[in-house]
């Protein structure tokens, strides 16, 4: 897999396209408005972008997991104040899925 930048008449990037090895980059140029040329993006840049995206996804997942645990603890604290039995994390997850329509 390679990434190419499609360039307009003054050398500005008009679009990015991921292409398979052996695929002809010129085939993508007519599909982007104003694109007249292309250049290949350095594979190291593509790898760094992918790594940054993956790190961001891991962070978001960790934050989401932490938020769910905080909400779970608060739910059980409220239940304790209401003299109700605590719920399990599985019951809480099922309730969240039902609320979110998942």
Q: In this predicted structure, what is the pLDDT of residue 6?
A: 84
Q: What is the pLDDT of residues 22-36, one digit of tens each?
A: 887 777 776 666 777
Q: Is the pLDDT of residue 47 over 70?
A: yes
Answer whether residue 3 shows pLDDT above 70.
yes
Cα 91 to Cα 69, 79, 85, 98, distances in angstroms: 13, 13, 12, 11
The Cα 91–Cα 34 span in angstroms is 54
- Alpha helices (runs of H) in the chain, residue ranges in sequence order: 43-81, 89-100
SS3 letters across 69-94? HHHHHHHHHHHHHCCCCCCCHHHHHH
Q: What's the average model confidence in pLDDT over 7-23?
A: 83
């Amino acid at each position: 897999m390679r990434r190419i930048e499609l360039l307009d008449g003054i050398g500005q990037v008009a679009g990015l396209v991921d292409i398979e090895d052996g695929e002809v980059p010129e085939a993508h140029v007519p599909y982007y408005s104003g694109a007249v040329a292309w250049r290949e993006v350095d594979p190291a840049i593509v790898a760094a972008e992918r790594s940054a995206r993956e790190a961001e996804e891991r962070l978001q997942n960790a934050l989401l997991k932490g938020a769910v645990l905080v909400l779970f603890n608060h739910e059980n604290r409220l239940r304790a104040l209401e003299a109700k039995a605590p719920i399990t994390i599985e019951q809480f997850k099922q309730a969240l899925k039902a609320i979110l329509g998942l």
